[in-house]
Structure 1
Amino acid sequence: MYRAAMEELKAWKAKKNRKPLIIRGARQVGKSWLMKEFGTREYEDMIYVSFDNNERMANLFEGSMNVERLIAGLELYAGRKIVPDTTLLVFDEIQETPKALTSLKYFNENAPQYQIVCAGSLLGVALHHGTSFPVGKVEFLDLHPMSFIEFLAAAGKEQYAELLNDGGFDIASAFAQDYADLLKTYYFVGGMPEAVRVFCEGKSFDEAREVQRRILDAYEQDFSKHAPGAAVPRIRMLWNSIPSQLAKENKKFIYGLVKEGARAKEYELALLWLADCGLVSKVHRVASPEIPLKAYEDLKAFKLFLNDVGLLSCMTNIHQSILLDGDRLFTEFKGALTEQYVLQQLKTLRGLDVYYWSAERSSAEVDFLVSDGREVVPVEVKAEVNLRAKSLKAFHDKYAPRLSVRTSMAGYKREEWLLNLPLWAIGTLKRAVEDTRKG
């Protein structure tokens, strides 16, 4: 299974002054697989330690933080020597032993020659009380569900994926219908690795849906197991309200849809908990599209998305038969799946800030604003081939950005101030914008 994050792990390994690396991401996005695959491919030896229900490791890290002592204990546990240059140490479910998390500080300061990659769902890592987090002593890599391009590779369409990665729109456009059909499948299957694997092996939508249901059930169990008890009912209500929030034409999050009369203050902890665990993404409104966007962030206005389009389609119980009915999938659910999909792809592009814009005194709204720190690019999302984008034109007339992007089921086309980027190619946005800078 191809994951683009593998290249980032290779780059981390090649760094002279690397620090222990923590892979962050929600449960079931493939953190354990990625670490093991990296160790198998790139190292002579890998020592894998899962801290889940591991009493021996818990006892080892409860003692002195002397690195030589910890290495000796890990060697006894593994039954072989740890060679700094050729052995990768993999710490999985590290949140289950908070002192193991703390130890990363001492590895970084006193024994930087050891190569350590670890992961743990944000459950516990972000919220564990009494843990000394090694601020400034570790590096992070955020792992999201599989992108559409990664899905193409997993589905045996490696050449289709390579065309997009290489920016080969001339050739890719000739196969636009193939890409569109595969995109419809991705809307249903999503990017959770187990759902993708099951679907690609058996081409069964039902089996993929069953995996998604299990993942959603596991998330619900996590609410009860890991969240503060008083917050659990509100977490559940907020979580279950997301499909109805996205079904609105104006997708701005409204607390009244969670519960009649609900106020923001009552749900702050629930929202923070879901965001810290990687289960939801907040996209804030900006009042003015200036750099840096964060300086113009409206903290009270935001859209809330799930971590995966397949899980959203599962929560709404969209049946696979809809895939057989032409373009119905792209008009049902008021474009919610499409906007969820686009945000999910944008989140996988490193170094991009993502917001949205709406006018103060009119209904004009641009679905997303993205910035790489050099310029702000508005992105208008259209679920079909419909190319009317009044809000995008109004935004262009008012702020005159160098480039505006409209993504839809229409083909690739570069105009004077507008780039039409097919939905199936939105994962190439960063490259496409850079190419327009070169002329």
Structure 2
Amino acid sequence: MAFKRKIYSKLLDWKNTTQGKKALLIEGARRIGKSTIAEEFARHEYRSYILIDFNDVSDAVINAFNNLLGDLDTFFMVLSTEYGVELFNRESLIIFDEVQRFPKARQSIKKLVKDGRYDYLETGSLISIQQNVKDITIPSEERAMDMHPMDFEEFCDALGESMLVKYIKNCFAKKIPLERGLHEKAMLIFKEYILVGGMPQSVAAFLEKRSFQRSDEEKRDILKLYRDDIMKIEDRYQSRVLAIFDQIPAFLSQHEKRIVFSEIQAGSYFAQYADTFFWLGNSRIVNECFNCTDPNVGLTLNEERAYIKCYMGDTGLLASHAFSENAMTENELYKQILNGKLNLNEGMLYENALAQMLRANGHKAFFYTHYNEEKHRNDIEIDFIITDNNKVNFKIFPIEVKSGKRYKYESLTRFCEKFRKRIGEAYIIHPKNFEIKDDGIICLPAYMAMCL
């Protein structure tokens, strides 16, 4: 089942603006649809294309990369013959699928782009892991683009609800609530989204018979694939990656949600896990969120990497990762989530979904905590901080996530008082309709977070 993906328009922009002078590398987690969108783009936008899958490539093709790059006429003749595809000057696309499996092909991009006959699209995961780049020169003729699991807007489109998305965006722009019935419908779809997630196989399985169980089966296959990938990495940090991966739901179930290294193993500290988070972040299995000690221009400059939250890259995967297979196949669990009665675990899913939505919109997320020496506890805890990236009039936007309809927000109030001059707008994400509080804090229904 093919889904409409927003990255397609970015691929078109690359094709029209670079005119063959840059190859495009699509990076992203396994099973998010990179190969599918690359081939769909090639099929519709080019006269012909070749897809070289480096998971299953012939000796003839490998030999061509190893020995024939000095004779490109012969090189292209071999590719054309091997795949049975005629190539046309400036009208054909060659796709290097899972290019991390054969780094030499990635290095060849420099020579191939300079030749200028065809366009080149690469897809891959774990692109920057040391063993995938240590023996090659990264081509400057390559432009990188991130791809994510299907976001909430794409999920709605797959459900045939594109008009609802337009209505939500219009209400956000006008700062008005949705009509009550449409708000309830949008919230139901959002809850379906946090259960199903944005992995295309999971969405397709769900849509086939509106079955959460079929969706869960697909997600567990993907989680097993991720574990298999972890088991292939270097022994020196394999166990640590696995330990973090396995405990993500446990950490997100806690109040603060950040990773406490001493709870993984006594005496542990962040420096011991640096390679771990690099691998998990680069694989796009997780979305990292670091503590920002002084929310100001350039949040990265003030990040405290020893304080980290680790969200799953896809909230649907988190749901299957957090609950046992038996629990997920019982309809009662789905009813609890859809009816908003899962309490703490529902808050974990809401917060993970927001991290996913922010990442899909290009934000690098941070959080903020302030320790009160007199009270001996944190008196300000802000779930997320994003920026508008304005270099002239820089503003920060604090976000608190509330999964219940009754809540307090003293932390957000204190944060706004402390950093008033730096704040553009302050948001609460909640299950209720759009509302602006008397103090100016904007309350967004969870589905409207896609507009941030």
Q: How does 1:417-432 map to 2 (within 5 A)?
A: 417-429=440-452
Contact 2:433 2:445 in 1 (8 A): yes
Farther off after superposition, 31-40 or 130-139:
130-139
CA distance in 2 between partners of 1:221 and 1:70 (Å): 35
Give aligned pairs, total.
426
Distance change in 2, residues 1:171/1:360 (3 Å)? closer
Contact 1:51 1:58 in 2 (8 A): no
Q: Of 396, 401, 405, which aligns to 1:385?
A: 405
Residue 361 of structure 2: aligned partner:
349
Distance change in 2, residues 1:335/1:210 (3 Å)? same
CA distance in 2 between partners of 1:417 and 1:136 (Å): 47
Residue 177 of structure 1: aligned partner:
184
Contact 2:28 2:125 in 1 (8 A): yes
| Shift in Å, 1:305 | 1.0
Q: Of 138, 141, 145, which aligns to 1:137?
A: 141
Q: Of 37, 40, 50, which aligns to 1:37?
A: 40
CA distance in 1 between partners of 2:348 and 2:303 (Å): 23
CA distance in 2 between partners of 1:86 and 1:167 (Å): 43
Q: Of 379, 384, 393, which aligns to 1:368?
A: 384
Note if 1:99 corresponds to 2:115.
no
Contact 1:189 1:195 in 2 (8 A): yes
User: Could you list the runs of 5+ residues in structure 1 that have no partner in the other structure?
Assistant: 430-439
| Shift in Å, 1:376 | 1.3
| Shift in Å, 1:183 | 1.3
| Shift in Å, 1:114 | 2.1
CA distance in 2 between partners of 1:247 and 1:154 (Å): 30
| Shift in Å, 1:187 | 1.4
The one-letter code sitting in structure 1 at the alignment partner of 2:427 is V
Distance change in 2, residues 1:371/1:91 (3 Å)? same
| Shift in Å, 1:360 | 3.8
The one-letter code sitting in structure 1 at the alignment partner of 2:431 is M
Distance change in 2, residues 1:399/1:124 (3 Å)? closer
Note if 1:328 corresponds to 2:340.
yes
Residue 165 of structure 2: aligned partner:
161
CA distance in 1 between partners of 2:17 and 2:341 (Å): 45
Distance change in 2, residues 1:75/1:172 (3 Å)? farther
Distance change in 2, residues 1:425/1:312 (3 Å)? same
Note if 1:86 corresponds to 2:91.
yes
Contact 1:386 1:408 in 2 (8 A): no
Residue 125 of structure 2: aligned partner:
121
Contact 2:4 2:154 in 1 (8 A): yes
Residue 432 of structure 1: aligned partner:
none
CA distance in 2 between partners of 1:266 and 1:295 (Å): 22
Query: SS in structure 1 opposite 2:379?
Result: coil
Contact 2:237 2:275 in 1 (8 A): yes
Residue 156 of structure 2: aligned partner:
152
CA distance in 2 between partners of 1:10 and 1:321 (Å): 45
| Shift in Å, 1:87 | 1.3
Contact 1:85 1:114 in 2 (8 A): yes
CA distance in 2 between partners of 1:112 and 1:29 (Å): 30
Distance change in 2, residues 1:274/1:200 (3 Å)? same
Distance change in 2, residues 1:90/1:162 (3 Å)? farther
Residue 434 of structure 1: aligned partner:
none
Moved over 6 A (4+): none
Identity over aligned pairs, percent: 24
Q: Normalising by structure 1, what TM-score? A: 0.91
Q: How does 1:172-251 map to 2 (within 5 A)?
A: 172-174=178-180, 175-225=182-232, 227-251=233-257
CA distance in 2 between partners of 1:42 and 1:322 (Å): 44
Query: SS in structure 2 opposite 1:407?
Result: strand
Query: SS in structure 2 opposite 1:15?
Result: helix
CA distance in 2 between partners of 1:279 and 1:102 (Å): 26
Contact 2:109 2:139 in 1 (8 A): no
CA distance in 2 between partners of 1:427 and 1:51 (Å): 35
Note if 1:256 corresponds to 2:256.
no
Farther off after superposition, 370-379 or 165-174:
165-174
Contact 1:402 1:417 in 2 (8 A): no
Farther off after superposition, 190-199 or 414-423:
414-423
Farther off after superposition, 354-363 or 403-412:
354-363
> Residues 370-408 of structure 1: CA distance to partner in whole angstroms, max 9, x if unpaired?
113122111111112235211111111111113111111
User: Could you list the runs of 5+ residues in structure 2 that have no partner in the other structure?
Assistant: 373-377
The one-letter code sitting in structure 2 at the alignment partner of 1:383 is S
Query: SS in structure 2 opposite 1:134?
Result: coil
Contact 1:323 1:329 in 2 (8 A): no
The one-letter code sitting in structure 1 at the alignment partner of 2:8 is M
> Residues 279-301 of structure 1: CA distance to partner in whole angstroms, max 9, x if unpaired?
11211111111111111111221
Contact 1:185 1:323 in 2 (8 A): no
The one-letter code sitting in structure 2 at the alignment partner of 1:332 is L
CA distance in 2 between partners of 1:103 and 1:337 (Å): 43
Residue 404 of structure 1: aligned partner:
426
Q: Normalising by structure 2, what TM-score? A: 0.88
CA distance in 2 between partners of 1:334 and 1:181 (Å): 14
Farther off after superposition, 116-125 or 299-308:
116-125
Residue 17 of structure 2: aligned partner:
15
Distance change in 2, residues 1:190/1:334 (3 Å)? closer
Farther off after superposition, 285-294 or 113-122:
113-122
CA distance in 1 between partners of 2:164 and 2:332 (Å): 25
Distance change in 2, residues 1:372/1:76 (3 Å)? farther
Contact 2:128 2:282 in 1 (8 A): no
